[in-house]
Structure formats: C-alpha cells, structure tokens
Amino acid sequence: MLKIYISVLAIILVGTASFGQEKDITSVAQKTMEMPKTDTSKKKWDLGGPMSINFSQTSFTNWAAGGQNSLGLAGVLSFHANYKDGKFLWLNDLELAYGFTEQQDLPLQKTTDQIEATSSVGYSIFDHVLATFLSNFQSQFAPGYTNTSDTVLLSKFMSPGYLVLSLGLNYKPNKDIMVFLSPASARLVFVEDQTLANEGSFGVTPAVRAANGEIITPGKNELTEFGAYMKTTYNHTFSKKVSVNSSLELFSNYLKDPQNIVVNWYGLIQIKVSKYLVVTFNYQTIYDNTVIIPIYKSVNGEEQKVGQGPRLQIKDILGAGLGFKL
C-alpha cells in the first residue's frame, strides 16, 4: 500500500513540474513574440549608378568613295555611395570616363578623359538643410595634345588637378537633388608637370627667365584661390529606361577677377534599349578664364597657331554599347 502512495505522489509531482515548465516555456515564447523587431526596411546605404562601354569600328576595302579604317572605345561610370543615419548624411559621387579612337596610319587619339570625385559630410539643422563640409577633386588619366600629329603636351594627370575644400549649406529635398552653397571655399590648382608649370599653364605663376630664355626661377606647381562655390547635382531614373546624371559647378575667386566665374557643367544620359544595350550621351561644358586655349588656323593645308586665349570648352559624345546598372 505504501508503494502505491509513493507511486501516485511521484506521478503528481512530475506532472506538476512538467506543467510548470510548459507554462514557463509558453510565457517565454509569448514575450519573445511581443518583443519589437528591428526594422530592416530602412537602408542606411544607397549604392548604385550607370556604367556603359561603347564601341565603334569602321573598315574599308577597295572602297571607291574613300575613307580610313578606325576603331573607337569609350567607357563611362557614374557611381554614388550615400549614407544616412538620423540627421547625419554622407554623400559620395564618382565620375570616371575614358575613350580613344585609332585611325589608320595615325597615332591613338583620346576622345574623353575625366576623373571627378566628390564627398560631403553634413548634419541636418533644418528640414532638408544640412551644415556641410564638401571636397571635390578633378583631373584626368592620360596626356593630352592639341591634335593627332602634335607632340606638344597640353595636359596630363595632375596637370591640371583641382581640389575644392568648402564649408557651407546643403539643400537636399530628396535623394535625387542636391544644391550646395558656400561663401568660403578654397580651390587648389595643381600643375605637377614642370614644363607646363614653367609656361604658367592653368593659371599658375610661370617661370622667370633670363634674356636668353634660361630659367632663373622655376614656375610654381600650385595655385591657391579663395572664393564662393556652388555645386548642384541631379540624378534620376525615368521609367527604368532613361537615367540622367548631371552636375553644375560655379566658382568665383575673391582674390583675383571675381567677375570671371569658373563654370563646369557635366551630364550623362543613358537610354536603355534592351537588357544590356544602351545609348549614351555624355556632355561637358567648361569655362575657366585662367585656362589659355591655343587658336589654330589652316594655312596652305596646314594647321598653324595664330593666337591663344580663354575659350568656352565644349565636349559631347554619343555612343551605343553595353550598359549596366550597378
């Protein structure tokens, strides 16, 4: 009889313990389900941008109308990496372009060459307005010459190179538009090639020469300017077929000729024809009063230099090729 009581008591204790454990597990599960979940729908990073590679090829064999065989290649990348966390905003843009054409019996000639990187760090002080520090760097990849038969160097990497350091206000109403204004900006011009620096290219102080042309004091490799700076950008994709990337920069140097505003307007339009085939239109307009452009005129069938001076620089490239969205 005692064994029966002990067995019944053991069953009751085990059952009670199991019920209590099950109740605890259920309670923990309910609390877990009630805990707030992390919202992963809001991404702090926004990465992407269009990339295209355009090809062109022309070939003639016994062609009565004449012509020259040619091969062309151009690549364009417009990439952004933006970070947002509360009132903190970090914007980064990279614009790269390089292209060339090769014609029969003529040296390789580049058609486009661009390096531009912009980075800005801002903190929101009003709706869509941020106190911002911005830096912008521009240069090119390869040496540049006047024409295919010219051996006189006009430019190369870091000759010129431009660096803007600026503190101001950034108006950003949405992810596509940015308007940055600064009354206090430093613009540094670099001409690292000493031959170009000695000539005073891109506004740097030229070399001091003796009467016989011998250099007494080499030309300076840097020029510092201080003034007002504005940069606007617009990046948008329409109907998943047409993407537009455009930027406009204006700079006025307080220290010398502030009325001569430096203008740099760049744009990239990409139209998607199929999954990988795109038509690309790339344009750029520059005016800088310190950049002296040689002026040539055809005399007896030959190009001869007849003068020089500041000029409006315009470049546009229309091409078709492979396109990707990074």
Helical residues (DSSP H) of the chain, grouped into ranges:
2-34, 194-198
Q: Dihedral angle at the C-alpha atoms of 56, 61, 63, 69, nearest 10 degrees?
A: 30
Place of tokens 């203008």: 263
Task: Give φ, ψ of 65 to 5 degrees.
Answer: -75, -10
**Mean pLDDT for the stretch of residues 48-57:** 88
Euclidean distance between CA atoms 326 and 26, whole angstroms = 47
Place of tokens 């843009």: 93
Cβ atoms of residues 283 and 267 within 8 Å: yes
pLDDT at site 35? 45
Q: What is the pLDDT of residues 71-94, one digit of tens each?
A: 899 999 999 999 999 999 999 999
**Mean pLDDT for the stretch of residues 104-121:** 89
Place of tokens 């101001």: 168
**Mean pLDDT for the stretch of residues 221-243:** 94
Mean pLDDT is highest, among 55-69, 103-117, 120-134, 293-307, for 120-134
**Concatenated DSSP letters for 246-281?**
EEEEEEEETTS-TTS-EEEEEEEEEEESSSSEEEEE
Cβ atoms of residues 261 and 251 within 8 Å: yes
Euclidean distance between CA atoms 235 and 131, whole angstroms = 21
23 confidence band (pLDDT: 50, 70, 90) = very low
Q: Is the peptide bond before 160 cis (omega within 30 degrees of 0)?
A: yes
pLDDT at site 2? 38
49-325 topology per CATH: Outer membrane phospholipase (ompla); Chain C (2.40.230)
Q: What is the pLDDT of residues 236-292, one digit of tens each?
A: 988 888 999 999 999 999 999 999 999 999 999 999 999 889 999 999 999 999 998
Euclidean distance between CA atoms 80 and 246, whole angstroms = 13
Q: What is Dmax (Cα atoms) for the chain? A: 132
Euclidean distance between CA atoms 94 and 138, whole angstroms = 10
pLDDT at site 65? 67
Q: What is the pLDDT of residues 95-109, one digit of tens each?
A: 999 999 888 777 788
b/e 63-92 (16+ beta carbons within 10 angstroms → b) = eeeeeeebebbbbbbbbbebebeeeebbbe
pLDDT at site 42? 62
* Share of residues in the chain with pLDDT > 70 (%): 85
The H helix count followed by the E strand count for the chain is 2, 19
pLDDT at 8 > cutoff 70: no
148 confidence band (pLDDT: 50, 70, 90) = low
**Mean pLDDT for the stretch of residues 293-302:** 78
Domain positions in the chain are: 49-325
